[in-house]
């Protein structure tokens, strides 16, 4: 009799956990930028609100894409978009950035997923008196950590490069 009560209790807990997980998935889906679903990742990055923010701040934008970026799953597409969003916010905030370069490459499916490689170059004005320090951005670091990826920041002659790599599940 006691085992039956324990089993029912565990089943009840499992069901509650499933309901909480479903609720979280729905909430996360609502937080995903709608343009990702309506236009795809490539177009959202190339000509969406992030591009408009850069244009409004007087920062030129160059983008390059390789591989099937729009075939990534929802979580990976959202992660890439949010990483780019954090970099755009930083570029606009710094006021010394004159060029924002974005390179996204998505590999073919492999046994562990698709390789996602993202390179974001922030090129500073040659007339800038003080250049920002070379530091990882916490918003990017947190997203990459959630994807179990790698994130490094490299110096450029007059700027910085943010390099992200992670494997996206199919």
3 shares its domain with 43: no
8 shares its domain with 61: no
44 shares its domain with 16: no
Averaged pLDDT, 47-71: 94
Looking at residue 19, its pLDDT comes to 87
Integer Cα distance of 114 and 106 in angstroms: 7
Residues 6+ apart with CB under 8 A from 153: 134, 135, 136, 160, 161, 162, 163
Integer Cα distance of 52 and 55 in angstroms: 5
41 shares its domain with 3: no
Looking at residue 39, its pLDDT comes to 85
Tell me if 166 sits within 8 A of 147, measured CB to CB: yes
81 shares its domain with 138: yes
20 shares its domain with 101: no
121 shares its domain with 49: yes
Averaged pLDDT, 77-98: 94
Q: Domain containing 22: what range?
A: 1-31
139 shares its domain with 156: yes
Looking at residue 101, its pLDDT comes to 98
CATH code, domain carrying 64: 3.30.565.10
Per-residue pLDDT for 30 more than 60?
no
76 shares its domain with 2: no
Averaged pLDDT, 103-121: 95
Integer Cα distance of 115 and 165 in angstroms: 7
* pTM for the predicted model, two decimal places: 0.81
Looking at residue 9, its pLDDT comes to 87
């Amino acid at each position: 009799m006691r085992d039956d009560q324990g089993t029912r209790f565990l089943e009840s807990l499992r069901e509650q956990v499933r309901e909480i997980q479903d609720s979280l998935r729905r909430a996360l889906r609502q937080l995903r930028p709608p343009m990702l679903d309506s236009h795809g990742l490539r177009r959202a990055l190339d000509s969406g609100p992030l591009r408009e923010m850069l244009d409004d701040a007087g920062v030129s934008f160059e983008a390059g894409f390789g591989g099937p970026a729009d075939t990534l799953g929802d979580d990976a597409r959202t992660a890439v978009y949010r990483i780019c969003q954090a970099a755009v916010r930083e570029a606009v905030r710094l006021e010394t950035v004159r060029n924002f370069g974005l390179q996204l490459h998505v590999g073919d499916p492999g046994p562990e997923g698709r390789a996602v490689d993202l390179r974001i170059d922030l090129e500073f004005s040659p007339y800038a008196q003080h250049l920002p320090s070379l530091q990882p951005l916490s918003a990017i670091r947190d997203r990459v950590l959630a994807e179990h990826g790698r994130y490094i920041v490299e110096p450029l002659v007059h700027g910085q490069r943010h390099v992200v790599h992670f494997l996206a599940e199919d």
